Amino acid sequence: MTEIPPQAWLEDETGKRIPIGPRGVIVGRSLASDVMLQDATASRRAAFIYRDLEGLWLVRVGRSSVRIEDAEVEDNQALQPGDSIQFPGASFVVHSDEDPALATASWALRREAAPPDLAELPRVIPLTDQPFSLGGSPDDDLRIPSWPPGLVRLDPHDRRSWRASLREGVSIDGIPVQAPTTRPLPADARIGYARVVYRLVEVAATQRDTLHQLPVELPSRVLLQPLVPSGGSITLFFGEELEVTTWIPGVRYDLLQALLSPPAPYTAGDPLPDAVIMPLVWGRQIPSDRKAVTTVLKRLRRDLEKGGLPGSLLVDRSQGRSSFRTAPGASIELLEPR
């Protein structure tokens, strides 16, 4: 069993939350950035921030200054909840549901359904002894864009339930609320609206480490996202909902893309001979070392394993050929460089 990465977000100087979704966020001056910097000295692509099964990471991809707690970042660096990241003209604080609240939570909200455009909504949200609201307003504790403001408010009631203030239209266990009401919600109550469903779960001490668990299997879908000037991210989808993203640097990403997007007549998943791989990865500067592909392949496996993925299962090497294994019929998507 492997854990799903924790939910995380950046908070800017105004208090606005910027989710770090499963595919990460790019910070920079470019209009294509997920987080745009206004300072003219900022790089068009300053950093890539993502989360994997080991935690949160920042990859410096531009030339402008990137600092964490006033220390300059040279390459890749792990992030911790509470870290302050400084870019030219802007700073952000890192937050994660791996904060102490989750470790001690007795209750949580667990997402059970969401449409594709809301797939980045948190999967697990710890509930403390404070009121918690769900709705479409920036003032709601969980902002769901397709929901009306303040649609649901949860207040601690007793050890076995929460008191819920519900507006018209929300459903509880599939039954729509016809008029504003307040009532207790027990464990396993399902709160739904506009195809988004969260279940209220009671978390026993023995379950806290398993809220995020999922089976390890071959991915049914793969997204490749190259980043300028080099490297990129890979997002693997397992089953219907789970997705895991990790960063692959430099030439290892080039090898990954070669395996998953090979030239005809090969298709993704086919074992590729070194003679096909080497021009795709190194261009005209093909190394003389016959073990070059094997060396990079081993490092690619370690990159995947660092992200909590089964690198040895996914990346295969036998009889001088290399392949990336996926589930039968898996879709492979190569996104435009960012």
pLDDT tens for each residue of 164-218: 999 999 999 999 999 999 999 988 899 999 989 998 987 654 344 444 443 357 8
Give residue limits of the domains in the chain: 2-96, 106-202, 221-334
**Residue 241 — very low, low, confident or very high, per pLDDT cuts 50/70/90?**
low
Where helices occur in 125-273 by DSSP H, the ranges are 250-260
Say if CB 297 and CB 315 are below 8 A apart: yes
Lowest mean pLDDT among 6-15, 119-128, 253-262: 119-128
Say if CB 154 and CB 163 are below 8 A apart: yes
Residue 43: the pLDDT is 93
- Within 13 Å and on the Cβ side, how many CA atoms surround 289? 7
Residue 139: the pLDDT is 84
Mean pLDDT computed over 52-80:
86
Q: Burial level of 306, CB count in 10 A (0-12/13-18/19+)?
A: middle
3-state secondary structure string across 13-67: CCCCEEECCCCCEEEECCCCCCEECCCCCCCCCCEEEEEECCEEEEEECCCCCCE
The reply to whether 2-96 and 106-202 are identical in fold is: yes
Residue 27: the pLDDT is 95
More confident residue, 23 or 54: 23
pTM of the model: 0.55
Residue 92: the pLDDT is 96
Q: Looking at the structure, give the CATH architecture of the domain made up of residues 221-334.
A: Orthogonal Bundle (1.10)
Residue recorded with tokens 């770090």: 20
- Give the fold, CATH level 3, of 106-202: Tumour Suppressor Smad4 (2.60.200)
Residues ≥6 apart with Cβ < 8 Å to 133: 139, 140, 141, 142, 150, 152, 153, 154
Residues ≥6 apart with Cβ < 8 Å to 262: 268, 270, 272, 276, 280
Q: Is the pLDDT of residue 76 over 70?
A: yes
* Identity of residue 174: G
Q: In what order do the strands lie in the sheet with 47-52?
A: 35-36, 25-28, 47-52, 55-60, 76-79
Q: Given this structure, which CATH class describes domain 2-96?
A: mainly beta
DSSP secondary structure string, 155-175?
A: EEEETTEEEEEE-TT-EETTE
